Amino acid sequence: MFLHVQELLSRREPEEFQGSFDLAERFRDVRDVIPLSPLEYRLTAHALNGRIGVTGELSCKLRLLCSRCLTPIDEPFVIPFEEQFQVMKESDPEPDEDVDFVPVTGERIDLRPFMEEELLVHLPLAPICSEDCKGLCPECGTNRNEQACNCNTERLDPRLEALQDWYKPE
């Protein structure tokens, strides 16, 4: 999805874009994330004084894995998108690192990597299937949401452990 820089700069009206692209390639090497739909975008690009602002919304459906019990979670995502591009001339000095825009010099801007990046930063680090997911038993691997197991995984206070030995029935 390309923005055409000169065309936008010479327009007075904002330009609207919508479309979609496939996410499979981007997530090929990302464990625990399976795209269930293309990424859809609805964006408006507005050029003013050599600056191109792009705002809008991204949406897609992804399958994530619960970080506790590994159950698949199919979830729709709707994410706001905003990016500022500053059109630079060859003679312009390098901008500082902490500017709030992306310097661009070419004739066109590929928005796809910016959209993919925005989606990535919005993904939960540790998705969970529900607030009270009990997770997998670290001993036997049983999904403790589905059934209880007999493993004793409570860590006892070492002093209590000593007492427990003491009271062990013969």
* Shortest Å distance, C-beta 83 to Zn ion: 34
Give the nearest distance from C-beta 128 to Zn ion in angstroms.
6
Binding site residues, Zn ion, CB under 5 A: 66, 68-69, 71, 129, 133, 137, 139-140, 142, 149, 151
Least distance (Å) from Zn ion to the CB of residue 21?
Answer: 31
Say how far apart CA 95 and CA 105 lie, in whole Å: 12
Closest to Zn ion by CB, 59 or 143: 143
CB 5 within 8 A of CB 87: yes
Contact 33, 125 (CB under 8 A): no
Nearer to Zn ion, 70 or 163 (CB): 70
Residue 27: exposure state from Cβ atoms within 10 A (0-12, 13-18, ≥19) = middle
Nearest to 58 by CA among 33, 28, 38: 38
| Cβ distance to Zn ion smaller for residue 70 or 162 | 70
Instruction: State which residue, 1 or 149, has the beta carbon closest to Zn ion.
Output: 149
